[in-house]
Amino acid sequence: MSAEQIIAQLTAASQKLEEVQAKLRDAGDAASQARTLVADALRGSSGQLVGQLGSLVDALGQISNRVPATREQVQQTITKVKTLGN
């Protein structure tokens, strides 16, 4: 596989990471809205579901926060491939 092909694949992967991050943000927003609706429906009752939804929102946020670092690693790999290809 040529350096250009590797760079093209890594660039596509970087774009997919951006799409994933946007979808994770949307999922986190939806889960947060669901948590609010459940909490409002229970009106202060202690509900395991509210806690689970809160954990889901937190997990989605953590995953979304890792995407930029992963994208940076992809960009570093592209730079290395370019260097090796020359």
Residue 45: per-residue pLDDT: 64
Residue 34: per-residue pLDDT: 87
Helical ranges in 1-86 per DSSP H: 3-42, 48-85
The rounded average pLDDT for each run of 10 residues, N- to C-terminus, in the chain (86 residues) is 90 92 91 85 72 87 90 91 84
Residue 77: per-residue pLDDT: 92
Residue 1: per-residue pLDDT: 84
Residue 41: per-residue pLDDT: 79
Angle between helices 48-85 and 3-42 (to 10 degrees): 170
- The residue whose two tokens read 């579901």 is 49
pTM: 0.65
Give the CA-trace dihedral at 52, 53, 56, 58, to 10 degrees: -100
Domain ranges of the chain: 3-85
Residue 37: per-residue pLDDT: 85
